[in-house]
């Protein structure tokens, strides 16, 4: 596989990673013999692009059992590896290399540095990249053997953290992504203790998927084949959402802060199942909509803020239209009976419809009673007054965790600021009644989003009201630091008069680097420009034209930190941004640099900052936020004489407090009414029957959007979009909002860092100046099928593929669903017929014999598999449009060769 394997994954741990799916026991002559039944599920089938590293360190085509020559003392069967690899390959393409290392029955202490298993894993990992390629992640499923004794369970966290640190150090990959599986089985006495450690680990670039609830074999220890497949898909979901950016046009790659910044930056994957009453107001239909969020540095470009805990609990999802998770809950009134929902697995990893099992909740409050809203931290009077017009309001501040858990079972909504932790215990204590959590502010670090969605609870925040206040506080700290205001004030009050000691520096002409050019960052930049500073900014997702409009230059992270006299931080806390300023980055800065942080405390390595202050590399720091709040009384950082510290006052102005109070109150009230909230951090439910019927059309709408935006020539901004539906259904019988949302998703996500769902689609489009209109073309006929076709038209834009322009001058694409699969059926004025199951090459050609053969031969020579091909023409021997579906992305050389065929007039490659 020399040099070809670009994506390498380490599979390690014990037996459930090694694979025991399909292992059966037979008895012959009083001897029990275990062997694999040989059944390979479709999701685990071999593929030439998926390879495995053998025990002899050679690459071969991968197939189950992956660990047969590694875990040799046991019978190996189906594990999660092949299902994981196929799901990742389907999304990303290219060659994948699997490095099996798992061995059954091993405790974590046997994986310590210096032990045989650890050293073998490192050796195999190094061999895997010897001929090229990159280690993308470690998949780790281990811990059953550590549930046997109290001593091993107690030591698990320290040993696991040490293992991660040692492995990253030895492989020279300090941010190596780790995807850990929380146990599905083990000794009951200590299993939950080990699981709690796994689910709660706060290690950068480590995420957790939860295997609890997956079906076990008769031994109650090992996962069944079906469960192994399910686990593989869960691991793929976690990798794609946390450590990979969304697919983009090859002509316009999406910048990424750290390869998904956070290592997708980590991003948090959210399985969404939230309560919501009917869309039409006429019917009560419930279901769930799953959105996978990929955190990015530019928090401003997405109206959400992500949790600081990189360990995300990802619950199992169904593989078949049957309900296997009987613990799902929805917080709806006891008078509502929830219809069963079926897990609908979209092929697209960024949009999935997931199921919630039927369950009636036992809510003590009657349906027609006023809801109760618990306000757990001080809220502005204007917000409280608004809440009191709709609900019973209980203002109980400074509650202990135990008191909050006791009180929450009587509440329909909870409003907090940053000081109250809304944990799993809180949601479980609510007994299903808690419907909404409102965060009065931007960050949602203190709310466990994964558990909120698991319990059907909507989370909303107030992302806009405190923008100016935070920016003003940043400028206040900047000027106070430059002139030693806090230190001089303390000195005078101590009876001193040391004018010479507190000589400051001027701001005029100095370079300020704004890291994170979102709402707050851009406001800081505006004000700094007014002070005469030269302002540069780094934000991989900020629009360059917005920066230029206020006289700010966007630069790389390295250039920003290397040239700045002052650095102001305004990014969210994610695993990618965690400790972004550390010993290494401080070393690249100017001597005497000054730092302001009004973002999140964890983005700075506080110990490293103390060292930089002591050495003089950093002259001063002004901090409003800290890793631990309040910080320890003996904090060296807080007590440092060159540090100006404030107690998280960024949003603490009277105006901002009132604005935040009103914004969060309106969001909470709207959510309790069943309305869609633009500030929702997780998505509402979509009626199950609607999703079941519209699922293939949802996929079609998104893919048409993705294709259409890739056809737009650079420099021509999209402002007007028309989505047309050809249908026999009456308007009241066809709810198109989810279709419009997914078309919007397809149009926006490939060219931005914003992640679009049903909640924020219209809001996001409006923010970007995108006017989306809908048109229904009514047909005579049976309304059994919801839609005949979907059409997307982009007006007033230039196209990089002229044939996509219709007679009316718009980019026009049309598609249909055939046998549950979306098809592209029209491009511009050309009729085509190609399945949207891979990427597409469009070629306009002179209509003559032999063209299909010529193009097919070029693709075949380069091992690019063609899955579909069709030719549409306006008239014989004039012009034709060849549409080719391909499984793999052709190289630039292949595309160039196609373009050099004399009869090819134009072509374009479009990636789905």
Q: Which residues are catalytic?
A: 600, 629, 648
Q: CA quadruple 310, 316, 319, 323: dihedral positive or negative?
A: negative
Which residues are registered as beta bridge partners of 777? 726
The reply to whether omega before 630 is within 30° of 0 (cis) is yes
| DSSP one-letter code for 77 | -
CA distance 177 to 164: 10
- Name 148's Cβ contacts closer than 8 Å, sequence gap at least 6: 187, 190
Quick check: helix, strand or coil at residue 358?
A: coil
CA distance 863 to 857: 10
CA distance 50 to 60: 9
Quick check: helix, strand or coil at residue 139?
A: strand
**Strand runs labelled E in 486-598:** 511-515, 534-538, 553-554, 566-569, 593-597
Cβ of 731: how many Cβ atoms within 10 Å?
Answer: 10
Nearest CA to 788 out of 833, 870, 724 is that of 724
CA distance 353 to 346: 7
Cβ-based burial of 782 (10 A; exposed 0-12, middle 13-18, buried ≥19): exposed
CA distance 811 to 120: 56
- How far is CA 254 from its chain centroid? 15
CA distance 569 to 603: 8
State the first-to-last Cα distance of the chain, in angstroms, to the nearest integer. Answer: 26
CA distance 80 to 211: 11
Lookup: tokens for 629: 């709040």
- Name 415's Cβ contacts closer than 8 Å, sequence gap at least 6: 373, 374, 375, 376, 377, 379, 387, 437, 438, 439, 440, 664, 665, 668
CA distance 16 to 225: 11
Lookup: tokens for 304: 């959400």
Beta pairing class for 511-515 and 534-538: parallel
Lookup: tokens for 402: 């135990």
220 close to 257: Cβ distance less than 8 angstroms: no
| DSSP one-letter code for 44 | G
Cβ of 857: how many Cβ atoms within 10 Å?
Answer: 12
**Strand runs labelled E in 539-648:** 553-554, 566-569, 593-597, 618-623, 643-645
283 close to 674: Cβ distance less than 8 angstroms: no
| DSSP one-letter code for 55 | T
Beta pairing class for 811-818 and 821-827: antiparallel
């Amino acid at each position: 596989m020399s040099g070809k394997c670009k994506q390498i994954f380490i599979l390690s741990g014990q037996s459930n990673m090694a694979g025991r799916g399909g292992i059966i026991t037979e008895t012959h002559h009083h001897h029990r013999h275990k062997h694999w039944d040989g059944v390979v599920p479709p999701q685990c089938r071999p593929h030439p692009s998926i390879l495995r590293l053998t025990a002899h360190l050679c690459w071969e085509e991968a197939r189950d059992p992956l660990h047969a020559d590694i875990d040799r003392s046991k019978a190996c069967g189906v594990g999660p590896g092949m299902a994981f690899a196929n799901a990742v390959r389907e999304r990303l393409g290219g060659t994948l290399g699997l490095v099996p290392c798992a061995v059954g029955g091993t405790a974590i202490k046997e994986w310590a540095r210096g032990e045989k298993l650890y050293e073998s894993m490192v050796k195999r990992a190094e061999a895997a990249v010897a001929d090229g390629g990159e280690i993308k992640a470690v998949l780790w499923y281990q811990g059953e053997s550590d549930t046997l004794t109290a001593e091993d369970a107690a030591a698990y966290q320290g040993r696991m953290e040490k293992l991660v640190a040692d492995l990253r150090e030895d492989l020279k990959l300090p941010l190596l992504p780790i995807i850990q599986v929380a146990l599905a089985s083990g000794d009951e006495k200590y299993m939950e203790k080990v699981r709690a450690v796994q689910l709660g680990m706060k290690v950068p670039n480590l995420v957790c998927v939860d295997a609890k609830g997956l079906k076990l074999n008769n031994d109650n220890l090992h996962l069944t084949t079906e469960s192994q497949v399910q686990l593989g898909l869960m691991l793929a979901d976690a990798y794609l959402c946390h450590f990979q950016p969304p697919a983009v046009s090859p002509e316009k790659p999406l910048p990424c802060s750290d390869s998904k910044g956070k290592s997708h930056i980590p991003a948090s994957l959210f399985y969404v199942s939230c309560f919501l009453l009917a869309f039409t107001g006429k019917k009560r239909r419930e279901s769930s909509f799953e959105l996978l969020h990929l955190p990015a540095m530019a928090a401003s470009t997405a109206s959400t803020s992500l949790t600081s805990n990189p360990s995300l609990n990802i619950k199992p999802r169904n593989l078949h239209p049957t309900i296997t998770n009987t613990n799902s809950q929805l917080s709806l009134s006891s008078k509502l009976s929830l219809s069963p929902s079926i897990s609908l697995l979209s092929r697209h990893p960024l949009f999935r419809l997931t199921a919630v099992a039927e369950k009636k909740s036992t809510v003590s409050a009657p349906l027609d009673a006023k809801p109760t809203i618990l306000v757990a931290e001080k809220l502005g009077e204007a917000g409280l007054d608004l809440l009191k017009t709709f609900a019973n309001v209980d203002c109980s501040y400074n509650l202990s965790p135990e008191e909050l858990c006791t009180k929450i079972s009587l509440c329909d909504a909870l409003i907090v600021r940053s000081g109250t932790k809304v944990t799993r215990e809180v949601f479980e204590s609510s007994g299903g009644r808690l419907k909404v959590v409102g965060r009065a502010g931007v960050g949602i670090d203190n709310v466990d989003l994964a558990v909120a969605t698991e319990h059907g609870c909507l989370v909303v925040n107030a992302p806009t009201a405190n923008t100016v206040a935070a920016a003003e506080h940043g400028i206040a700290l900047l000027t106070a630091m430059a002139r030693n205001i806090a230190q001089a004030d303390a000195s005078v009050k101590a009876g001193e008069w040391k004018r010479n000691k507190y000589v400051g520096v001027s701001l005029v002409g100095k370079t300020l680097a704004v890291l994170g050019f979102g709402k707050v960052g851009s406001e800081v930049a505006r004000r700094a420009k007014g002070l005469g500073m030269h302002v540069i900014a780094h934000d991989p997702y900020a629009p360059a034209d917005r920066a230029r409009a206020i006289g700010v230059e966007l630069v790389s992270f390295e250039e920003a930190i290397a040239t700045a006299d002052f650095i102001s931080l305004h990014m969210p806390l994610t695993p990618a941004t965690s400790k972004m300023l550390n010993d290494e980055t401080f070393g690249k800065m100017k001597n005497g640099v000054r730092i302001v942080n009004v973002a999140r405390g964890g983005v700075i390595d506080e110990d490293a900052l103390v060292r930089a202050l002591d050495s003089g590399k950093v002259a001063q720091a002004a901090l409003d936020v800290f890793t631990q709040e309040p910080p320890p009384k003996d904090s060296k950082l807080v007590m440092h004489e060159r540090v100006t510290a404030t107690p998280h006052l960024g949003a603490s102005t009277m105006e901002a407090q009132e604005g935040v109070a009103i914004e969060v109150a309106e969001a909470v009230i709207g959510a309790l009414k069943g309305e869609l909230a633009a500030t929702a951090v997780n998505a509402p439910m979509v009626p199950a029957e609607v999703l079941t019927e519209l699922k293939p059309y949802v996929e079609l709408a998104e893919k048409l959007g993705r294709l259409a935006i890739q056809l737009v020539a650079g420099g021509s901004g999209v402002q007007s979009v028309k989505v047309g539906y050809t249908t026999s259904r009456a308007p009241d019988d066809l709810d198109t909002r989810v279709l419009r949302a997914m078309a919007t998703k397809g149009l926006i996500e490939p060219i931005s860092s914003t992640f679009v769902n049903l909640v924020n689609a219209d809001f996001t489009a409006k923010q970007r100046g995108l006017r989306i209109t809908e048109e229904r073309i009514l047909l005579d006929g049976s309304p059994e099928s919801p839609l005949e076709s979907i059409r997307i038209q982009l007006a007033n834009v230039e196209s990089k593929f002229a044939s996509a322009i219709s007679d009316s001058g718009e980019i026009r694409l049309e598609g249909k669903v055939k046998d549950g699969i979306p098809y592209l059926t029209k491009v511009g004025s050309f009729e085509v017929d190609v399945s949207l199951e891979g990427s597409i090459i469009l070629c306009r050609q002179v209509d003559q014999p032999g063209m299909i053969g010529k193009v097919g031969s070029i693709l075949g020579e380069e091992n690019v598999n063609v899955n579909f091909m069709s030719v549409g023409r306006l008239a014989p021997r004039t012009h034709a449009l060849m549409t080719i579906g391909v499984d793999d992305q052709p190289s630039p050389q292949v595309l160039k060769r196609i373009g050099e065929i004399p009869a090819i007039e134009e072509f374009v490659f479009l990636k789905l």
